Amino acid sequence: MISKNETKQLQGVAIIAMLCLHLFCTLEPSFIPLVYIGDTPLTYFIGQAADCCVMIYCFCSGYGLMASYISSKENGKEYLKGRLKGIFRLLKSYWIVLFLFGITAAILGKAAEWLVSPVTFLGNFFTFWYTYNGAWWFVSTYILMVLLSPIVFKAVQKHPIIVAVLTPFIYLVSYLLRFKYVDGFLIQHIARLGMSYAELLIGVYFYKYSILEKCEKIWNKIVPGKIYFVLLSLIVLLTIVLRRYTPTLFVAPFSGMIFIVCYLLAVRKFSVLSKPFVFFGSHSMNMWLTHMFFYMPMYGGLAYYSKYPLLIFVSLVLMSLVASFIMIYIEKIIKLIIKKVSIKNIANS
């Protein structure tokens, strides 16, 4: 089984991939590429392959949620009780970021530009819209995926083959709605939910049928130990190159599965790889919610001041981590205030 620690590592991989995607997935960079392969910047190869970041998050969610559903003895109400706490934790962090960067915009003299209108603020506050930060679209999508999961998981348990057959169809239709045919607020939300749920179900089936363990058993049997890591690295590199020539999000679930399996097979043999990704995984939610602000024009496009790819990436990582630590500190203060108020109310009652 994939452990909680390994899930945290995958979340670390996902947030690093997300930063690479948002910084480097362009053939018209606003920075100075230093390495080219042919006429293509190396950064584009990395950025394009990194578009599987959301798929990795969805995979982890599906795997973990299915494990929780099974441990609750498939009791939907009991299962949702624990999940609602997770949703509240996400919303708490989201609201802290919303107010934190709203205050920052006001300090920079851009309050009106940030707020736009009270309706816009409320739409973002309740996660219906994500006009303040493009990465926030996943907040409402994730909440809906969790709330719908007892129904979906029940269907998976009763009719696993039917759900498995329907999943690619749902993904295809959702992809076409999102990128090809239909625009509009509601349709776009449905399309994102459909694509993300299909990716979440990959994690569900990996858990249900112990797919990783079967892959590991076969791999260990046929691949000699001396070339174990080398061959995994070659598969990852080949996938990155192939993604350069398939610049579409449609194939992200396939490349994502390759990266997930290769990483977990590698880290189980070479555990030293896990340490940095565990660290980034523990900050991944806060980094996801904040990182876009550090290269958005409203905040001066700070990350791109460095001009060169590696420096830009390091700058964004550091700024996102600082924001994460600030958020953690604010959350501790809020908890302390709530605790003191509660004690005071008990004493006065």
SS3 201: helix
Q: Which amino acid makes up residue 105?
A: A
Contact in structure between 31 and 55 (CB atoms under 8 Å): no
CB 311 within 8 A of CB 302: no
For 267-286, how does the pLDDT look when each residue is reduced to its tens digit (9 = 90+)? 999 888 899 999 999 999 99
Residues 241-248, mean pLDDT to the nearest whole number: 93
Compute the Cα dihedral for 225, 227, 229, 232 and give only its sign.
Answer: negative
Q: Are the C-beta atoms of residues 12 and 286 closer than 8 Å to each other?
A: no
DSSP 321: H
Inform me whether the pLDDT recorded for 109 exceeds 90. no
Q: Look up residue 180 and give its DSSP letter.
A: I
pLDDT of 296 > 90? The answer is no
Across the range 168-191, mean pLDDT stands at 90
Residue 41, strand partner residues = 36
| Mean pLDDT for all residues in the chain | 93
Q: Distance (Å, rounded) from C-alpha 333 to C-alpha 264?
A: 37
Q: What is the pLDDT of residues 215-238, one digit of tens each?
A: 999 999 999 888 999 999 999 999
Q: What is the pLDDT of residues 23-69, one digit of tens each?
A: 999 998 889 999 999 999 999 999 999 999 999 999 999 999 999 99
Q: What is the CA radius of gyration of the chain?
A: 21
For 40, the enclosing helix (H) or strand (E) is strand 40-41
Query: Which tokens hold the place of 163?
Result: 């759900």
Q: 3-class SS at 9?
A: helix
Distance (Å, rounded) from C-alpha 11 to C-alpha 26?
A: 24
Residues 89-102 pLDDT 10s: 999 999 999 999 98
- Give the C-alpha separation, 161 to 215, whole Å: 20
Token pair 């599906």 is at which residue?
62
Confidence of residue 299 (pLDDT cuts 50, 70, 90): confident
Residue % of the chain over a pLDDT of 90: 78
- Position 346 scores a pLDDT of 65
pLDDT band at 107 (very low <50, low <70, confident <90, very high): confident
Domain interval for residue 188: 4-348
Is residue 169 within 8 Å of 194, Cβ to Cβ? Answer: no
CA dist., res. 223 & res. 132, Å (int): 48
Measured distance CA(174)–CA(69) in Å, rounded? 26
pLDDT for the residue numbered 328: 95
- For residue 251, report the phi and psi dihedrals to the nearest 5 degrees: -95, 5
| The total number of structural domains that make up the chain | 1
**pTM greater than 0.85 (yes/no):** yes
**How confident is the model over 165-169, as a mean pLDDT?**
97
The full length of the chain comes to: 349
Mean pLDDT calculated for residue range 69-76: 90
